[in-house]
Structure 1
């Protein structure tokens, strides 16, 4: 009986990862299209504040609109939400206002890892 329960728990855990992670149904995952929108919004916000403070009028650059492409976000993949949140916090935080959204994006958002079926992209490497 204990053996059946243990095997059932392992099977349920494995199917949970295989089904819920790609669907983005787990709590700490975020779809790439959502992450890309949040990163672009953060870059636009930072550019608007910086340009208003420095030039006296709000403006954004065309490069700001490509923030998700600079961060190499793929819309069909899933990312760890804490990593995306840290990237956005860096862009909208002190680092973003001092260095600008482009440089902060290059520094802080290049290492966002995709979240695959179990732990890798899409399978773990052995």
Structure 2
């Protein structure tokens, strides 16, 4: 009985990744379309804050509207949520305000890895 229970638990934990990762149901995963939207919103907000500080008027860079494309986010893939959160924090933080959202995006968001089915890309982070 104990062997069967352990086997079922092991089988469930292995299939859990196969089923939950592709549908984005794991805790630390985020769909690319949502990540792209959050990165674009962060870039727009940072450009607005930066333009008010520098010139006193509201301006948005055209490059902030394509921030997700600059970060090379694929909308059909899944990304590690903590990596996306770090990218957004860098864009909205001191880097973004001091250097601009485009430079902060290039510095912080270029290395976002897609999440694979079982192992991640290239391996899962623990």
Bin for the TM-score computed over the shorter chain: over 0.9
For residues 123 and 92 of structure 1, what CA distance do their matches in structure 2 show?
Answer: 28
Q: Cα distance, 1:123 vs. partner? A: 9.0
Q: Count residues with an aligned counterpart.
A: 124
SS of structure 2 residue aligned to 1:30: strand
Structure 2 unaligned spans of 5+: none
Q: Which digits, 9 at most, give the CA deviation of each residue in 1:39-61, with x for residues without a partner?
A: 00000000001111111111111
Q: Cα distance, 1:121 vs. partner? A: 4.4
For residues 14 and 123 of structure 1, what CA distance do their matches in structure 2 show?
Answer: 15
Root mean square deviation, CA, Å: 1.6
Q: Cα distance, 1:2 vs. partner? A: 2.5
Give the 4+ runs in structure 1 shifted more than 6 A.
none
Corresponding residue of 1:111? 111
For residues 57 and 93 of structure 1, what CA distance do their matches in structure 2 show?
Answer: 20
Structure 1 unaligned spans of 5+: none
Q: Cα distance, 1:3 vs. partner? A: 2.2
Q: What TM-score do you get using the length of structure 1 for normalisation?
A: 0.93
Corresponding residue of 2:8? 8
Q: What TM-score do you get using the length of structure 2 for normalisation?
A: 0.93
SS of structure 2 residue aligned to 1:26: coil
